[in-house]
A and B are shown apart, each in its own frame.
Chain A
Amino acid sequence: MSTRVRLVGVGSPFGDDAVGWIVAREAARCLGAAVEIRLRDRPGLWLLEDLDCPGGVVLVDGVRGLGPPGTVAVLGSGTLPAGRLRLGSSHGFGVAEAVELARRLGRGPASLALVGIEIGESGEGGVRAVVRAAVPAAVRAVLRAVADVARPDPRRA
């Protein structure tokens, strides 16, 4: 099993949701062999396997609720909204649900971070300029998150 940090881009080929893949690819290009990159399309329960990585995991995903489109934020596993989660159907099983289920099973990575890029109400077609403009900042956030995950701060353990 890999002891490298696993970088998981979550998204799709279409619309602003592609930003998770774009940022993950850009960051992986900078980091080379230091990370193992995986790109996922609506991973649902399958994300549990991606979270099973002793080297730690950084997730990158287009999200809603951070603020204006293009806003970038880094969330630790403790700051995901676990209290409001309900496992409805598999169609509604997202990143936060997978992280919470992994936590309940005691099988999540020792260290985890989520880099979220606000996409707002995404439309069809390509990534909007306002979201694409956030890519450099999001890539920098991923690089910091990978470094933090690889060397977890003992005070946060």
Chain B
Amino acid sequence: MGERRTVAVGALARVEGEGALHLRIEGGRVAELRLEIFEPPRFFEAFLRGRSVWELPDLVARICGICPVAYQMSAVHALESIAGVGIHPGVRALRRLYYAGEWIESHLLHMVFLAAPDYLGLDDAFEVARIHRREVERCLALRALGNRILELLGGRSVNPVGVCVGGFTRPPSVEALRELAASLRARMGDAESLLEWIASLPVPACPQEVELVSLRHPEEYPMNEGRVVSSGGLDLAPAEFTSAVEESQVPHSTALHCRIRGRGSYLVGPLARLLQNRDRLHPRARAAFDALADRFRRPDPYASVFARGIEVIYAMEEAIRVAESLPGPVPVPERPELPAGVGHGATEAPRGILYIRVETDARQCVREIRIVPPTAQNQARIEEDLRAQAEVLLHLPDEGLRRRMETAIRNYDPCISCATHFLDLRVERRP
């Protein structure tokens, strides 16, 4: 164990974006570990300055092809907090339906296409499709429903455009919603079967001490609204988010690292959300959580894949509830007066809290905007997790260590594209 070695993942597969991991081992200890994000900075915050606030929901949707809804929702909530407009209860319900569609699509993509190959010992989803065809078919059928939701509310599933301040530009008909609800009901069993399948795979366990951060709402499982709460005692309005969280730059990453001031790294995402809001689940999701309760006794990043499966079931239940209960058509909102001001929006993207602070001017243009995506928030936490795991896995040969490190990173479903994109792992061992 006294050797020096370097393990490098030069191009990490099955993560969204481009990055690398550098691990230097000296004298049997991890001497250095860097999650290197070399995705070029995308400068969204800079080029949104001066744009009309009314363009904002469409522009921010372009930041990510997987979680456009999250960007749109955080942006409109920030703008609405400036306008001080009340939201029609139907719009509020439809926004939960819209978010449910994105959770379904994003979570299933990760569970079946990105993560499952790790737990099956397969190279990629082509192999999963060949061997586990039924599961992949289920995944695709459910994702098609998520897609349908995005099309209904966003006008199209890729870079949706139907969101505006106050609601939707073309709200769906009640008939279309009822038809959707019937399709969702018919596929509910598929969501449960997929979670059972994932739970049957040899997913590693690695419980850790970690501060969990998510939204918390008095009545609902959080999507669009709530206070920012943590397992370490944070309880903040979205407007206070940056008073507790600081962003900093590190030389090896074009994405910012986030820490809780005076404390350190923290975890956002489905695991944090679930562990802090399990009492807000609908019955079928709650039953799924109870069946896996042993995996959730202590925070374990590897249990995130189960949390995603439970949230898919929840999202299906919530989508059915909204699609079946909306009493009538939702009005298209009038464009409100928007004074110069500062607004804050924090909503639960599939990967965790997405915070947006926007400052507007008297011409109804964006003066300043700050966007804190979930992957940037998790980055410091991912490095600490990898360091802890590497310490106990140093006995593995480089290839084994490399695979395990890649699995651990993928487990967070990082969207490096959002945080700034792909991983390249280098392990360096020295005596």
Contact = CB atoms under 8 A, between A and B. Distances in A.
Contacts of B66: 90
Contacts of B159: 41
Interface in A77-128: 85-91, 100-101, 104-107
Contact of B147 (A46, A86, A104): A46
B15 interface: yes
Contacts of B310: none
Interface string A30-65: 000000000001111110110000000000000000
Contact of B137 (A43, A87, A105): A105
Contacts of A105: 129, 133, 136-137, 140
Pick the most buried of A44, A88, A100, A107: most chain B CB atoms within 10 A of its CB: A88
A42 B144 CA distance: 16
A49 B144 contact: yes
Interface string B42-66: 0000000000000000000000011
B123 interface: yes
Interface string B152-175: 000001110000000000000000
Interface string B172-194: 00000000000000000000000
Given A89-B14, A105-B133, A45 B126 contact: no
A19 to B, nearest CB: 19
B125 interface: yes
Contacts of A88: 13-14, 124, 422
Contact of B140 (A48, A90, A91): A48
B344 to A, nearest CB: 29
Contact of B124 (A44, A48, A87): A87
Contacts of A44: 65
A101 B17 contact: no
B421 to A, nearest CB: 7
A46 B114 contact: no
B17 A90 contact: no
A106 B159 CA distance: 29
B113 interface: yes
Given A87-B14, A89-B114, A91-B65, A101 B125 contact: yes
A46 B137 CA distance: 13
Pick the most buried of A45, A49, A106: most chain B CB atoms within 10 A of its CB: A45
B5 interface: no
Nearest to B105: A45
A100 B143 contact: no
A90 B65 contact: yes
Contact of A91 (B16, B113, B129, B147): B16
B417 interface: yes
A89 B137 CA distance: 19
A107 B136 CA distance: 12
A91 B144 contact: no
Given A42-B158, A86-B124, A91 B17 contact: yes
A100 B65 contact: no
Interface in B63-115: 65-66, 109, 113-114
A49 B157 CA distance: 13
Nearest to B11: A88
A104 B130 contact: yes
A109 to B, nearest CB: 16
A101 B126 contact: yes
A46 B157 contact: yes
A45 B17 contact: no
A42 B156 CA distance: 13
Given A86-B13, A89-B114, A41 B158 contact: yes
Nearest to A90: B109
Contacts of A87: 14, 113, 124-126
A89 B136 CA distance: 16
Contacts of B143: 45
B417 A91 contact: yes
Nearest to B158: A41
A143 B348 CA distance: 48
Contacts of B144: 49
Interface string B116-137: 0000000111100110010011
Contact of B16 (A43, A48, A89): A89
Contacts of B17: 89, 91
Given A46-B147, A104-B129, A89 B158 contact: no
Nearest to B127: A104
Per CB-CB distance, the 10 closest pairs between chain A and chain B, nearest first, are A87-B124, A104-B129, A87-B125, A89-B16, A88-B13, A104-B130, A105-B129, A86-B124, A104-B126, A101-B129
12 contacts: A41-B158, A43-B158, A46-B158, A87-B113, A89-B114, A89-B421, A90-B16, A91-B65, A104-B133, A105-B129, A105-B136, A105-B137
Given A45-B143, A90-B16, 4 more contacts: A88-B124, A89-B421, A90-B66, A104-B130
